[in-house]
Structure 1
């Protein structure tokens, strides 16, 4: 039986990274086409998801067995793996809601400025957790084959839930707070860990060589862990590769940048912040932001509703974002932060 420790879970986060390389590129749409295949022996079915198992057997795969048994006990001592997994996700959703309610109530007793900042971070992070869990539920409620083929996405979302909770707890520890955030999130953290362990155990034989359920494969250099102009090939869509190949960036197939940032005033905006906030509500399609040569001392935040931003610069060591806040939580000090949308 495969074991999956905390570091492995956190390493399983695929697609929540922004890469700055030869050109400054931010793909805020995050339409990351992660493809998970299926083991040759299970192509005709859905792997082990429909197999019957016992409560003890399913919980033996987890790190927090007592929490697992108590949360899945209503299902009974014997059921299908997929039924137990759905229940594990739903139990995490319920526990996350309880944690958020507790924070809302107890947060009113906090007065320290640092603790209040950490509290605000936690409310945002737990909201992100809820959205990640919703995305897992959408996958698990789809057809069995589709869910199995998308198991990497579900694992990624559950890994994100674990990481968001850890970030929340670390925010309070930064300010040496006596507030027991570990206690607030203990059960939700355990349940999300258990859900991830279950899905990992039953999808670890994903085989990318199984072709019947996946799109046609591109070249090895392009798709199998290689780089494209310094970027992970899996993150670069065909249209985006055309943008990376285009040297002028001023106009591509009739599409000029929607916003141009230039410190010398030659663009529409002098700050990246202003350009990002020019993104129209309800915008459809790619929104191009061209950031000209310069060093921009900004902390750039891309909101969840800005779902299709493509930001690029003049190249390595030419367009640089170097902002950094010395105050606040680590969550707030990131130079570039993107809140993902599902």
Structure 2
């Protein structure tokens, strides 16, 4: 009997999900209660529910909190899928309680920086609640034909919810009073419960892997030399018109945008924010904004409900959005960005983003991105400390230029940079340069910063004479489980032989995951790299898991953008090979 691909594993999404979750539950329950006799046939459901809750909570890092929270809402259910849903629900409920607490703290706060931090917390907690709800919805529509992908989708939105809570607490740096301690206490339970939900979903993923289900992407293959620059082609969604399909491969003069922005009055609007103001809400079709040459001095925000926005400029050095908000002048890092992207499906081409605050002003973000399936093609991001905040969700950067000094690519997204030029600028007299500061706080999280086929070199403002005095490192662990991959990239002489730099003392040195695979250039020699437990050597085959195809599931959504990408690793390097 013929079946389609989506029905090849088992007919019916819910049936397989329940079967998988139930199997996980049975295995864990068996391990935990193997020495106990079966309950008497006439006993109440309470014992069965308790054991089911304990089984679901077994793989979590906070089992006591998990069991306590679920036991209060589980009633008589032993359905593992229902218990997983409840784990999402209790995390949301505790977030709402923390949100209310932040409002009370804000009323009492007198320090302006503390008030701003609490206001930011409320905003971030709203995002966290939304994203847990999104993950909850995806649990109900679990795609059994591609279970590994479905599990990744669940974790994606839980990861972002966890990051928003951590970002809330980050905002209390240099604040006075006890609001920071109060907010941390208020978020303790919701952060633990969000982490527990990640662990439960992660355990589900391990079980799926153990089933050895057919690989829906087909066998992992390596690109031949002839295919290296080829772009995988797929059918486009029906709503993507022929003009839209060509959008990112034609010059600006050939584009038919929805609106035009021009400083000289020749467009529909003179500001980008004004153009965004007429964009449809939650659009399923692209809304194209063409921004003519000019320096746009405005803080631009693409809001969450502004989906599928495409912004095209005249070139990354010709069309620039600039700002100068910074930490030293009293603005929290999260609020310093010149350009903020929150709307899913955002694409930028030939645009420049900068923060001109300068190195003495410390944290000053040029671009902040927390939009799923966001793409930046031939764009440029310039600042000093904290240039590019890859905050959350899936992000892809192709043929971009990023410049900065300290932690200038940072955040907790699933972000891949491909064929990008990374320029290290001259820092202040007593500073060191650090390219990345990845913010993965939990071992359950699936996030990472990945540099693939990129170049790390010195900006012309940073000549070799200063490289020894102001050394440059690939990254440092901003959060305990920080994870960064440098793969098949060119590392210039300025990269310090140690490679990686501690954050503070031994924080994160055992728990981070830093690796370099198949790199080249004078800075790629790993013989003198630091010997932390968290600095790993992985194989070329293992690194295939951290490619556009697998890590971002990019084959599902990148072809329709017409942005070129390399789906898997390039052929392994030979001596003197140039990729």
Query: TM (normalized to structure 1)?
Result: 0.71
1:45 maps to 16
Q: Please tell me whether the aligned partners of residues 48 and 81 of structure 1 are also in contact (alpha carbons under 8 angstroms).
A: no
1:260 maps to 260
Q: Please tell me whether the aligned partners of residues 139 and 147 of structure 1 are also in contact (alpha carbons under 8 angstroms).
A: no
Question: Residue by residue, what CA displacement relative to the aligned partner does 1:124-151 show, whole Å, maximum 9, x if unpaired?
Answer: 1111111111112212223673794532
Return the structure number with greater strand share.
2
Q: Please tell me whether residue 328 in structure 1 is matched to residue 331 in structure 2.
A: yes
Secondary structure of the 1:202 match is helix
Structure 1 residues 284 and 156, CA, compared in 2 at 3 Å: closer, same or farther?
closer
Structure 1 Cα separation of the partners of residues 336 and 189 of structure 2: 28
Q: Please tell me whether residue 301 in structure 1 is matched to residue 301 in structure 2.
A: yes
Structure 1 residues 153 and 296, CA, compared in 2 at 3 Å: closer, same or farther?
same
1:4 maps to none
Higher mean C-alpha deviation, range 82-91 or range 67-76: 67-76
Size of the alignment, in residue pairs? 292
User: How far did residue 110 of structure 1 move?
Assistant: 1.5
Structure 1 Cα separation of the partners of residues 154 and 123 of structure 2: 21
Question: Residue by residue, what CA displacement relative to the aligned partner does 1:165-223 show, whole Å, maximum 9, x if unpaired?
Answer: 01111112343452121111110000000000110111244689633xx8x99x987xx
Q: Please tell me whether the aligned partners of residues 252 and 313 of structure 2 are also in contact (alpha carbons under 8 angstroms).
A: no
Structure 1 Cα separation of the partners of residues 283 and 141 of structure 2: 28
Counterparts in 2 of 1:136-215, with a 5 A limit?
136-142=135-141, 145=144, 148=147, 150-179=150-179, 180-204=182-206, 205=208, 210-211=215-216
Q: Please tell me whether the aligned partners of residues 96 and 130 of structure 1 are also in contact (alpha carbons under 8 angstroms).
A: yes
User: How far did residue 321 of structure 1 move?
Assistant: 2.5
Ranges in structure 2 where 5+ consecutive residues have no aligned partner: 1-5, 30-52, 345-371, 373-579
Q: Please tell me whether the aligned partners of residues 264 and 270 of structure 2 are also in contact (alpha carbons under 8 angstroms).
A: yes
Q: Please tell me whether the aligned partners of residues 140 and 147 of structure 1 are also in contact (alpha carbons under 8 angstroms).
A: no
Structure 1 Cα separation of the partners of residues 229 and 136 of structure 2: 32
Higher mean C-alpha deviation, range 90-99 or range 101-110: 101-110
Secondary structure of the 1:111 match is coil
Structure 1 Cα separation of the partners of residues 174 and 146 of structure 2: 39
Structure 1 residues 99 and 340, CA, compared in 2 at 3 Å: closer, same or farther?
farther
Which of the pair has the greater relative contact order for Cα pairs under 8 Å at 6+ separation?
A: 1
User: How far did residue 69 of structure 1 move?
Assistant: 1.7
2:251 maps to 247
Structure 2 Cα separation of the partners of residues 81 and 145 of structure 1: 17
Computed over aligned residues only, the root mean square deviation of the Cα atoms, in angstroms, reads 3.9
- Of structures 1 and 2, the larger Rg is shown by 2
User: How far did residue 286 of structure 1 move?
Assistant: 2.1
Structure 1 residues 38 and 184, CA, compared in 2 at 3 Å: closer, same or farther?
farther
2:288 maps to 288
User: How far did residue 40 of structure 1 move?
Assistant: 7.5
Ranges in structure 1 where 5+ consecutive residues have no aligned partner: 1-36
Q: Please tell me whether the aligned partners of residues 282 and 307 of structure 2 are also in contact (alpha carbons under 8 angstroms).
A: no
Secondary structure of the 2:323 match is coil
Structure 1 Cα separation of the partners of residues 283 and 77 of structure 2: 49
1:91 maps to 90
Query: TM (normalized to structure 2)?
Result: 0.44
Secondary structure of the 2:298 match is coil
Higher mean C-alpha deviation, range 91-100 or range 149-158: 149-158
Structure 2 Cα separation of the partners of residues 275 and 67 of structure 1: 47
Q: Please tell me whether the aligned partners of residues 56 and 84 of structure 2 are also in contact (alpha carbons under 8 angstroms).
A: no
Return the structure number with greater helix share.
1
Secondary structure of the 1:311 match is strand
Secondary structure of the 2:331 match is coil
User: How far did residue 278 of structure 1 move?
Assistant: 3.0
User: How far did residue 105 of structure 1 move?
Assistant: 2.7
